[in-house]
Amino acid sequence: MKCPFCGYPDTRVVDSRLNKEGNAIRRRRECSRCERRCTTFERVEEALPLVVKKDGRRQPFDRLKVIAGIQRACEKRPVSIATIEKIVDHIERQLQESGEREVESSRIGEAVMEALHGLDQVAYVRFASVYRQFKDINEFMAELKDILAQGGGQEKA
């Protein structure tokens, strides 16, 4: 593997171990030239369906893109990165188990909204406002009223 610091094409593995969840191998590597160390993670490459965007384009499922969207919604909220990763793990697992070759991007967005709705309502409203592209304040207020009607006025700890 190429060194991320000096670009030398040869690094050696110093240490390997399973991560806490047991779904990836964490490797400590050392560059043969500059002797700096880095960490890599090795995961099984799973066949995920292509994501069909609203405009009809197809692209591979991008786990990091989903994590980034959830992180933006959860900014300054009491939601850990571990919780966000569990949400994305669950969505990935659902996609794999579906066996479908293509999935509408709206299904992924709805899955994220469902997870956020039960986790943090502020994050849910933030994500929904971007995902559903509210046209005006009335659409936004209608969503808030739905949350309040469902007993979502209290923050969860």
Asked if residue 115 lies in contact with residue 87, where contact means CB atoms within 8 angstroms, the answer is yes
pLDDT value of residue 156? 44
pLDDT value of residue 151? 66
Calpha distance 10→2 (Å, rounded): 6
Beta pairing class for 37-43 and 24-31: antiparallel
pTM of the entire predicted model: 0.62
pLDDT value of residue 45? 67
pLDDT value of residue 105? 92
Asked if residue 79 lies in contact with residue 71, where contact means CB atoms within 8 angstroms, the answer is no
pLDDT value of residue 52? 95
Calpha distance 41→44 (Å, rounded): 10
pLDDT value of residue 25? 92
Q: Which of these, 76, 73, 48, 72, lies nearest to 62 by C-alpha position?
A: 48
Calpha distance 26→102 (Å, rounded): 30
Q: Helix or strand or coil: residue 43?
A: strand
pLDDT value of residue 128? 84
Phi, psi of 7, deg, nearest 5: 85, 0
Q: Could you say which residues of the chain have pLDDT below 50?
A: 154-157
pLDDT value of residue 10? 92
